[in-house]
């Protein structure tokens, strides 16, 4: 059974606040630039808002429409961490001012130690999307997932169920991952395992950090 969680927001000043300005520019290609600008507010909840901007051009100076970005965003998040668990709830909104689309996301997750040999993760989310170009007024996605982690063996099992759009399309995904080496992981997933259109995926990932 899928459930939608309720969220509460407490606007209380925090004692101290550092790094209130968000500024992250990037050069994507020789003639394409992107930047994230915004600010954080010193409140009990992690509160931030800003914009993702982008602009690109050809070598001749003509603008590239696909490289243009002007997305407004905002986020409220609360995280509670204890030695045995971590809980987080978040409200996020994004509005693409160039393409006339937007999304509202409500999510909640909890990680905790279930037993000496087992950790557990629970998550649920509700997403409402709007696109001006679509004939449908809005899209609605509701999902819920559970993940079992065996820390001593590096094995993780997960299951996810989701209802997509107002038509009530339901999908499920089962997955397993195994840590083989410190930087090497093997994972496999199966989507809609009891339907005729089931699909599978196997991946081997090697991660290098420097």
Residue 157 vs residues 147, 187, 201, 204: alpha-carbon distances, Å? 6, 10, 15, 16
* pLDDT over 80 at 14, yes or no: no
The predicted-structure confidence for 165-180, as pLDDT tens digits, reads as follows 766 688 999 999 999 9
Q: Which of 12-26, 40-54, 92-106 has the lowest mean pLDDT?
A: 12-26
- Residue 133 DSSP class: T
* pLDDT over 60 at 7, yes or no: no
Domain map (residue ranges) of the chain: 21-206
In DSSP notation, 37-49 reads EEEEE-BSSEEEE
* pLDDT over 70 at 4, yes or no: no
pLDDT-based confidence at 185, cuts 50/70/90?
Answer: very high
pTM above 0.85, yes or no: no
Q: What is the model's pLDDT at position 61? A: 78
* pLDDT over 50 at 74, yes or no: yes
DSSP lists the bridge partners of residue 177 as 156, 187
Please check whether residue 133 is in contact with residue 11, taking contact to mean a CB–CB distance below 8 angstroms.
no
* pLDDT over 80 at 10, yes or no: no
Fold entry, domain 21-206: Porin (2.40.160)
The predicted-structure confidence for 83-138, as pLDDT tens digits, reads as follows 999 999 999 999 999 888 899 999 999 999 999 999 999 999 999 998 876 656 67
Average pLDDT over residues 141-157: 95
The predicted-structure confidence for 100-114, as pLDDT tens digits, reads as follows 889 999 999 999 999
């Amino acid at each position: 059974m899928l459930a939608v969680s309720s969220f509460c927001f407490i606007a209380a000043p925090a004692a101290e606040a550092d790094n209130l300005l968000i500024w992250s520019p990037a050069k994507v290609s020789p003639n394409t630039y992107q930047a994230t600008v915004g600010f954080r507010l010193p409140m009990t909840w992690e509160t931030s808002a800003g914009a993702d901007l982008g602009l690109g051009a050809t070598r001749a100076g003509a603008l590239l429409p696909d490289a243009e970005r002007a997305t407004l965003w905002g986020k409220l998040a609360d995280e509670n961490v204890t030695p045995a668990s971590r809980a987080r709830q978040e409200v996020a909104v994004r509005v693409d001012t160039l393409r006339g689309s937007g999304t509202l996301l409500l999510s909640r997750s909890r990680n905790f130690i279930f037993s000496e040999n087992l950790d557990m993760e629970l998550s649920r989310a509700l997403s409402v999307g709007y696109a001006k170009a679509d004939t449908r007024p809005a899209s609605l996605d509701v999902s819920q997932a559970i993940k079992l982690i065996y820390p001593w063996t590096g094995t993780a099992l997960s299951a996810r169920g989701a209802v997509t759009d107002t038509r009530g399309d339901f999908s499920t995904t089962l997955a397993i991952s195994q840590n083989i080496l410190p930087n090497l992981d093997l994972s496999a997933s199966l989507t809609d395992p009891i339907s005729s259109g089931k699909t599978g995926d196997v991946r081997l990932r090697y991660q290098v950090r420097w």
